[in-house]
Amino acid sequence: MAYDGIYNVGTVSVAAGGTAVTGVGTAWTYGAQRLVAGDTLAVGGVSLPILAVGDDTHLTLAYPSTVTASGAAYAAILDSGSRTTAGTAATRLQSYLAAAARIEAGVNMYLCAGVLGNTPPASPALDALYVVGTAATGAWAGRANQMAQWGGAAWIFTAPADGDVVLNNGLDFYIWSAAAGSWTYRPITTVVERGTGVGQ
């Protein structure tokens, strides 16, 4: 896979509060798609930077995971600054311009701190916005797929409108489909590669 792309072969396991990620059927140190420090791992609706890659099946996150995943699908986004060239910088710029075009067209877009997690964070920042997962617990129970914003004393919930877009930590898009009743994952780096607009 080319630079500024996605690698998602195999599955991963990681524990909430941990930084160690174990892969099955992965090849994280092989060929052009090899992962490097600074790339991003997206799993369970959470995206975190990679601190180090040990071998084909072991890597370490820069920050503790907020979700537990076992044998889960994932996306490794090859977006480390060490990969940046004039070409990849132009591709990223085009992706953000595509997002800007949706805003001008009247589509709601939100910047989120986490997407499709099921457990409310213990110490959220004031006004931080999250998209609730489908098996939510605690204060998020019964709020599947809604947007939850921390108001300082309580969570404020908003149901998404058809076509709403959330940008997860500036790394990837999720688009709400009222017809499907679900969020569709769209890595920001694939938007231009596939020759499509963000919402297509």
Give the CATH number for residue 55.
2.40.30
Q: Give pLDDT < 70 ranges for the chain.
A: 1-4, 32, 83-107, 170-171, 187-200
Task: Classify residue 117: in a domain, yes or no.
Answer: yes
Distance of CA 17 to the CA centre of its chain: 18
Task: Classify residue 141: in a domain, yes or no.
Answer: yes
Q: pLDDT digits over 33-78, tens only?
A: 789 998 999 898 888 999 999 999 999 999 999 999 999 988 888 8
What's the confidence (pLDDT) of residue 108?
77
What's the confidence (pLDDT) of residue 87?
56
In this structure, are 119 and 53 located in the same domain? no
What's the confidence (pLDDT) of residue 166?
86
If we measure between CA atoms, which residue out of 15, 85, 72, 82 comes closest to residue 44?
Answer: 72
What's the confidence (pLDDT) of residue 170?
61
Q: Count of alpha carbons within 13 Å of 130, Cβ hemisphere only?
A: 30
pTM of the model: 0.48
3-class secondary structure, 100: helix
What's the confidence (pLDDT) of residue 106?
61
Task: Classify residue 151: in a domain, yes or no.
Answer: yes
Task: Classify residue 49: in a domain, yes or no.
Answer: yes
* Residue range of the domain that includes 10: 6-83
Encoding tokens for residue 53?
């890659």
In this structure, are 124 and 75 located in the same domain? no
Encoding tokens for residue 140?
């998020």
What's the confidence (pLDDT) of residue 100?
60
Q: How many CB atoms lie within 10 A of CB 120?
A: 20
What's the confidence (pLDDT) of residue 193?
40
Q: Which residues pair with 106 in a beta bridge?
A: none
Encoding tokens for residue 26?
């992965």
Residue-wise DSSP of 12-46: EEE-TT--EEEEES--TTSSTT---TT-EEEETTE
Task: Classify residue 163: in a domain, yes or no.
Answer: yes
Per-residue burial over 34-52, b if 16 or more Cβ lie within 10 Å, else e, is: bbeebbbbbbbbbbbbbee
Looking at the structure of the chain, the number of domains it has is: 2
- Report the C-alpha gap between 156 and 165 in whole angstroms: 18
- Say if residues 188 and 172 touch (Cβ distance below 8 Å): yes
